[in-house]
Amino acid sequence: MNNFFGVVLSAVFFGALALATCLGRLPPQIIALYGVASAVCFALYAIDKANAKAGRWRLPEHTLHLWSLAGGWPGALAAQQLLRHKTRKTSFTVMFWLCVAVNGAALYGLCHLL
């Protein structure tokens, strides 16, 4: 995947959140939630990458997945591409995209409830 794919997709997603907020489909706190979760998730990927390079203790994969599921997937996707981290292990990638799909379904449901 191109290094900018994650960044572009994340930017498009945040643009869609902003549009949904402007149209009254989502409260503004949702953008804040995704922003904070994405920043935390990006930082966790950076820490895990640094630990991997230094041969130190690694973050459990389920920690990265839980943050992705909680709304941090845009930051995770950007980190995967920009840091070139967690992109080769198929089982991790499949679980990551499953987290994205579940999060997206929950967001879709939230949009239709409000």
Q: What is the pLDDT along the chain (114 residues), one digit of tens a residue?
A: 566 787 899 999 999 999 999 998 899 999 999 999 999 999 999 999 999 999 999 999 999 999 999 999 999 999 998 898 887 889 999 999 999 999 999 998 888 876
SS (H, E, C) the chain: CCCCHHHHHHHHHHHHHHHHHHCCCCCHHHHHHHHHHHHHHHHHHHHHHHHHHHCCCCCCHHHHHHHHHHHHHHHHHHHHHHHCCCCCCHHHHHHHHHHHHHHHHHHHHHHHHC
Q: What is the pTM of this model?
A: 0.89
**54 is in which domain, residue-wise?**
5-113
For the chain, what is the domain count? 1
